[in-house]
Chain A
Amino acid sequence: MSCDVELHNVRVSYDAFCALEGIDLCIQHGEALGIVGPNGSGKSTLLKTIAGLLRPERGTICVFGTEPRRLPRGTIAYVPQVEAVDWGFPATVSDVVAMGRFSHLPWWRRFGPTDRALVDEAIDAVGMTPMAGRHIAELSGGQQQRAFIARALAQQPRLLLLDEPTTGVDAATEEALRLVVRGVVGRGTPVLMTTHDLERVDEWFDRLMVLDRRTLALGTPDEVAASGAYSAIREHTHTHGHLRVDHDPHEGHEAHPEVRV
């Protein structure tokens, strides 16, 4: 079976720092892949590279049979871990989610009732309907995250990339997000999602990738658990006393705006 997303021997570097090495991956239609690994393991870098925001130094990436940067508009929706936007920007939740439709609207097409309906539907899917008219600065961190996920849903992408969407959200929101992700996957859209949370991975994902600059394990959650590959990560997080590890300098490096292509 052919792959929707295919990486072959991919290496990504920031100047002298090698963030990813020898990555091979095949994501099939309607598959949810969870990516776990310690901070600085290259999880965000992997998503950014598949999104076409970073160019691999070596190896090939094919998304729906072509390079990410040559895909038609609106193919990929990417939700970064930390949105580096200006929270004072004059936009409501509804305005932000509407941007998800923009990639499908060339200048001669107007924002029509279908677009409006998709925006409302996406806002509803993340449980933000009561907040739709609020300015983005008036939202909590978790609500902001949900607004950006709604924007990705409104885009109706063929590939969805989520970077740590569950960080800092409460249990109810997390469950709502899980249902959203499973719904997207159920419609055939592959989803790649990074997470620090190793609980219930089998309910979120079809397959799991354990990453630490290289692929440590790749398989169903059960297979990966049996391989013992992420017991290392489990221990790593447990020695820090919690599951979600604090920021480490490499993550900051990844978020550096100057390294964009």
Chain B
Amino acid sequence: MIHALLAPFAYAFMQRALVAACIVGILCSMMGTYVVLRKLAFIGDGLAHASFAGIVIAYLRNIDYQLGAAVVAVLTALGIGFVHRKGKVSLDTSIGVLFTAAFALGIFLMSRQTRYTLDLQSFLFGDILSVTRGDLIFIVVVSAAVFIAAMLAFRDMLFASFDPVVAEAAGLPVKWLDYGLLVALALTIVVSLQSVGIVLVAALLVTPAAAAYQLAKRFTPMLLLSAAFGVTSTVGGLYASYFLGSSSGATIVLVATLLFFIAVALKRLRPA
């Protein structure tokens, strides 16, 4: 019985997928707490679509697609922050304008291509089973950098997320924290692209944190609960997809959604 349950992990590609699933699950859901608390749900979708332009450019220039995705996602994140502050438009408008522009640029560049070997499907929907050793190193290094930065800025980010005006009056660098968060989210998304794909990565940023928001009364428990939901979704989804023969990205997102509705139900059942 145990043997049968562990069977999938006899394969090296499944072991790599499992490591990727754990890292991506924890990173996305922890960064997701800020996304949910700052009401930035739209940004995951936006930056993921924007990174598509980077993937196409990298493909055309024959460079590493993760590098291309990272550069374009980070530039779009900074652009979103800049347009929001200088153009005095709301953040969701700024996201709406810039991500569609970057996505359109990606489509534009691809439509002028005659040789059509780019596997679009795997970028749109992700393929965690195709994670190579090199991909895994990229995931580990970038995730570690984002995680360390988030830990160092933890208190400032918490104050600025809760009450930016008062935090700014107290001398916290609220503007730089906002830009820093956007860049960290861009990198989180790029790291997760291969596992869940452009279309579904937003779910990993929003759904586990939204589930934790239902149940937690304080910030740190919300962060930990979100991480638990995130890793349960990615690892559970990966595992289920192996037996169901389904798309790993889609299965991961469906597990996360199921956990979200369980959290909503628990909140309703719990006495006030």
Of A73, A83, A84, which is within 8 A of B172 by CB? A73
In the complex, whether B156 has a CB less than 8 A from a CB of chain A is: yes
Instruction: Give the contact-size bracket for chain A.
Output: 35 or more
Contacts of A148 on B, CB cut-off 8 Å? 166
In the complex, whether B10 has a CB less than 8 A from a CB of chain A is: no
In the complex, whether B217 has a CB less than 8 A from a CB of chain A is: yes
Q: Which of B154, B155, B159 has the most CB of A within 10 A?
A: B155
CB-CB under 8 A for A78 and B218, given A102-B159, A107-B152, A260-B165:
no
Of B162, B166, B168, B221, which is within 8 A of A89 by CB? B162
In the complex, whether B222 has a CB less than 8 A from a CB of chain A is: yes
In the complex, whether B219 has a CB less than 8 A from a CB of chain A is: yes
- Check B170–A73 contact: CB distance below 8 A: yes
In the complex, whether A161 has a CB less than 8 A from a CB of chain B is: yes
In the complex, whether B153 has a CB less than 8 A from a CB of chain A is: yes
Contacts of A203 on B, CB cut-off 8 Å? none
- Check A73–B171 contact: CB distance below 8 A: yes
Contacts of A260 on B, CB cut-off 8 Å? 165, 168
**Bound complex: CA A188 to CA B170 (Å):** 19
Q: Which of B88, B166, B217, B218 has the most CB of A within 10 A?
A: B166
Contacts of A78 on B, CB cut-off 8 Å? 165-166, 169-170
Q: Which of A88, A90, A148, A151 has the most CB of B within 10 A?
A: A90
Of B154, B165, B170, which is within 8 A of A155 by CB? B170
Interface residue SS majority, chain A:
loop
- Check A99–B152 contact: CB distance below 8 A: no
B84 to chain A, nearest CB (A): 10
Residue of chain B at shortest CB distance from A77? B170
Q: Which of B37, B39, B171 has the most CB of A within 10 A?
A: B171
Contacts of B221 on A, CB cut-off 8 Å? 90
Provide the A94-106 mask, 1 if CB < 8 A to any CB of B, else 0.
0110011011010
A146 to chain B, nearest CB (A): 15
A-B contact pairs, 13 of them (CB 8 A): A78-B170, A80-B165, A84-B165, A91-B219, A92-B218, A102-B155, A102-B156, A102-B159, A102-B167, A102-B172, A103-B167, A111-B155, A260-B168
With A99-B159, A103-B171, A107-B152 known, 7 other A-B pairs at CB within 8 A are A51-B169, A76-B169, A84-B165, A100-B170, A102-B159, A161-B169, A258-B88
Residues of B within 8 A of A (CB): 37, 39, 88, 90, 152-156, 158-159, 162-163, 165-172, 213, 216-219, 221-222
